[in-house]
A and B are shown apart, each in its own frame.
Chain A
Amino acid sequence: MQKKWVGLSLALVLALVIAGCSGNSGTNGTSNTGTGNGGDTNNAATNTGNNNATPDTPAGEPVQLKYWTDDRHDQEYIKELVDEFNATNEDNIQVELTVMSENYTQSVDIAFSSNQAPDVLRLKSGNTPDFFKKGYLAPIDAYMTDALNEKFGNLLLDGVNRFGGKVYSLPNTGLTLRLVYNKDLFAKAGIESPPASLQEMVDDAKAITEMGKSKGIYGFALNYKSPKSAFDRSVREILSLSGHQGLGFDLKTGQFDFAPYGQIIEYFKQMYEDGSFLPGAESLDIDPLRAQFAAGKIGMYLSFSTEPGVYTDQFPTDINWGGALAPSLDGEIKGTSEIVSAGTWLGISAQSANPEAAFKFMQYMYGDEILTTYHEKGFGIAIVPSIVEQAGDPDIAGMEGFLVGEHDSLWPVSPTVTPEGPGYADAYFKYMIEGGDVGAIAEDLNTRYNAALASAIEKGEVSVTPMPDFDPANPQGE
């Protein structure tokens, strides 16, 4: 009897240790198979293999799907849609919506490594390539009907929603970037219109601060708790309007060149030195910033077209505010304002046991009525031509300033690389606060980013084709 217990105990120990190890090995195995050097096809094959997992739902029981998103601005509407789908779909599918507040990518990583991944994921142009490389996504080509191909076909872009010839997501909306400003504070400071150049922005921020500082009102703020998040919603837009790619990449040479970036930062530094920033902006997150703007304490900041939705649902406000085209470097528009996060919306997990049910939900979400309403409610700017044709202007305060106009367009995708040492946002934020040699910073960034780019190209992780004839005023070349 005792021997039996000893045997059972050892078996239990071994089984648990092996299970503990094999869980991760399995995950690594999937990724490894999928994303070896240029292994797009392998990846797709692996994903498809996972898709063939037998659904473990007993007959009669509803198919349970998990849908994760990190969008908060549209959460009430999405919840309504999910409830409606759960109540009306005839395939006995029930979707559980989870809205993440922070660290979405990290939560997705943990979910996939522990085999608890959601079935449907919110995909953004920023995270889709990474999710694809990690083998998280299932291709949807097999589910694409003629009608869907006709509706979305012209919008499917390599490196955005298509990888290795397979489609992983469909587009819905893009985000425009604008200067968000408090019209009343501008008027009180005697400023007639939003700034067209960076020098005007510096002067306006100073004037607003001088007018309102005694009441806790300041001219400018950005969410510098994450410098990258702050600059990617501000400098990026100013650069693209001024004729430069917004993330420091030179599309003409196919190399990183941060010299133009440094020129923009000089003006931000001037505003900081003038005391025009909201006190504490150095550690400010985006939601506290919005709360202060809604309270009428900030003259202006730069952000995405999600802001009208935010000020309707998340931080309702009575202040008289609007969105305007961002200023350019010298007041002259030499490029176009980049429409960002365009091309992806929803995708299906490679670990989903019910990919067909997941696509049925996805198909429901991509229906004309929902996409049209999504645009009209102001949650995003529609980029699907058939939706643009039928949708009315968004019925939401402030959205008129964010609508796609003559100065907006999609830009070619720039490569994402991870250099050794501080990234561009941290380096320039440090310069903004402490000063230094801005030329040397650009040179250092160019060296490190181009080294990382060369390494990524060598490993087959990215490919770059210089575009010597690239015209920033007409980025699509049409």
Chain B
Amino acid sequence: MSMKWKRLGENVWFLSPSIVLTAALGVYPLIWMLRYMFYDYAGYGEPLFIGLDNFQRLMRDGQFWESVGQTFVYAGGKLVLTLPVSLLLAVFLNGKLRGAGLLRGIYFVPTIISTAVISVVFYTIFNAYNGMVNTVLMKLHLIGQPIDWLGPKYAMLTVILVAVWGAVGNYMLLFLAGLQGIPQDLYESASIDGASASRRLWSITLPMLAPVAQLVIMLAIIASLKGYESIMLITEGGPIGKTEVMYLYLYKLLFPVSTGSPVEQQLGYGSAVGFATAVIVGAITGLYFLLSRKMNKMY
């Protein structure tokens, strides 16, 4: 057997686990979705081919487009708060601080706690009738009446805060990994030259971190656009759709969550919505890469 065939055999053998997993969990569902988005299919009976009807329905589906708008608010709010806070924490904990290891662990804990547990805890903290937030604010005489943190006015803010709390530790760790890759001798040279701490941050840390930051921000954008689990558990998208993000809307089409009488699964239309959401997330991610390409060449 020639060396070439031997090498090919080894390659196939080593790649086989990922080929199998990608085919079964990635390619097959994708083909399934691409097929059924042209069908009227509720999960039983004969799927009915309806051409582009699902996409025509999508264009006139006000609920979907509202959910797209809510997604931008949710993702924007989460990113605006999460990224600066996690970067600042990373810079802070990258110094020679006593107990930095313990603090890193504490900040990272929310990342590994079950979303279900986080959601129940935050519901208990924020609910209007006996939640801890209102109790404390009222005892401090900062408010006279309970605030409905999960009501139409503040529900989005609340679910964003929950998401930020769950995400900061994760991105802090990624930024920290990037910071630790910056050579220390750069800082030492800058110090000898008399550069202040803020100057070192602006002129060394941030430019050197840019390639890592580009990737971290991309991951954060995708995660924010796709996030819905804690929202589903805390508000189920309500009240009156004020926290219904597009992936939650999609989830409800595929797995109706109402506890009342059943609402039928809509696998065909759900597939079309799934395709549209993937296009939206893909387009935003692509646009981000286009706009941020200079970050990869900052040093």
Q: A residues near B, CB below 8 A?
A: 2-3, 5-6, 9-10, 12-13, 16-17, 20-21, 24, 31-32, 34-37, 39, 102-103, 105-106, 109, 126-127, 130, 133-135, 216, 224-229, 231-233, 247, 278-280, 282-283, 286, 288, 292, 297, 416, 418, 420-423, 425-426, 429-430, 433-434, 459, 461
Given contacts A3-B1, A226-B236, contact A433 B257 (CB under 8 A): no
- CA A400 to CA B56, docked complex, whole Å: 54
Collect the chain B residues with CB atoms within 8 Å of residue A292's CB: 129-130
A273 to chain B, nearest CB (A): 14
Given contacts A279-B128, A416-B262, contact A421 B61 (CB under 8 A): yes
* B9 touches which of A3, A12, A31 (Cβ 8 Å): A3
Contact A17 B235 (CB under 8 A): no
B11 to chain A, nearest CB (A): 10
Contact A126 B255 (CB under 8 A): no
A198 to chain B, nearest CB (A): 21
Contact B241 A283 (CB under 8 A): no
Main secondary structure of the interface of B (DSSP, over half): loop
Contact B43 A280 (CB under 8 A): no
Interface centre among B148, B256, B261 (most CB of A within 10 A): B261
Contact A20 B23 (CB under 8 A): yes
Known: A39-B45, A279-B129, A283-B239. 15 other contacts (CB 8 A): A3-B1, A6-B13, A9-B13, A32-B45, A37-B46, A106-B255, A134-B43, A229-B259, A279-B146, A280-B146, A280-B151, A283-B238, A420-B61, A426-B240, A434-B240
Interface centre among B9, B16, B62, B131 (most CB of A within 10 A): B9
A-B residue pairs in contact (CB < 8 Å), sample of 17: A5-B9, A17-B24, A37-B45, A102-B259, A109-B255, A224-B239, A226-B259, A228-B261, A229-B260, A232-B260, A279-B146, A280-B128, A280-B129, A280-B131, A283-B235, A416-B262, A423-B263
Collect the chain B residues with CB atoms within 8 Å of residue A32's CB: 44-46
Q: B residues near A, CB below 8 A?
A: 1, 5-6, 8-9, 12-13, 16, 19-20, 23-24, 28, 32, 42-46, 48, 57, 61-63, 123, 127-131, 146, 148-152, 155, 234-236, 238-241, 255-266
Main secondary structure of the interface of A (DSSP, over half): helix
CB nearest to B233 among chain A residues? A102
CB nearest to A125 among chain B residues? B261
Contact A225 B238 (CB under 8 A): yes
Contact A416 B28 (CB under 8 A): no
Contact A31 B258 (CB under 8 A): no
* B129 touches which of A6, A24, A297 (Cβ 8 Å): A297
Given contacts A103-B255, A130-B264, A288-B127, contact A421 B63 (CB under 8 A): yes
* B6 touches which of A2, A109, A423, A459 (Cβ 8 Å): A2
The 10 closest A-B pairs by CB, nearest first: A280-B128, A282-B239, A20-B24, A228-B260, A283-B150, A279-B128, A6-B9, A418-B264, A229-B260, A31-B44
Given contacts A31-B44, A106-B257, A426-B241, contact A16 B150 (CB under 8 A): no
A139 to chain B, nearest CB (A): 17
Interface centre among A16, A282, A283 (most CB of B within 10 A): A283
Given contacts A216-B130, A416-B261, contact A283 B20 (CB under 8 A): no
- CA A430 to CA B244, docked complex, whole Å: 14
Given contacts A17-B20, A20-B23, contact A226 B260 (CB under 8 A): yes
Contact A418 B146 (CB under 8 A): no
Given contacts A20-B24, A133-B45, contact A105 B256 (CB under 8 A): yes
Given contacts A9-B13, A228-B261, A421-B61, contact A282 B256 (CB under 8 A): no
